[in-house]
Amino acid sequence: WMRYRSDVDYDCTILHQMPGVRGNEYGIKAIIPDAKRTRLELLCQGGVK
């Protein structure tokens, strides 16, 4: 989950990174807003083509 943003689309990527560790990049496969449009659920796939 992440805070709702209207500019998130399928061309975006997600970078999960922790301090001192190389991050993992994910491609977005589905964008699912909640009913109040306060959060987004992103279904992602590892690796980006």
Spans of all domains in the chain: 2-46
Tell me the mean pLDDT in the region 2-18.
95
Q: What integer pLDDT is reported at residue 48 of this predicted model? A: 62
Q: How many CB atoms lie within 10 A of CB 42?
A: 15
Question: How far is Cα 14 from Cα 17, in angstroms, rounded to an integer?
Answer: 10
Beta strands in the chain (DSSP E): 2-3, 13-16, 24-33, 39-46
Whether pLDDT at 49 is above 70: no
pLDDT band at 12 (very low <50, low <70, confident <90, very high): very high
pLDDT band at 36 (very low <50, low <70, confident <90, very high): very high
pLDDT band at 47 (very low <50, low <70, confident <90, very high): confident
Burial 4-37 (b: 16+ CB within 10 A, else e): eeeebeeeeeeeeeeeeeeeeebebeeeeeeeee
pTM for the structure as a whole: 0.78
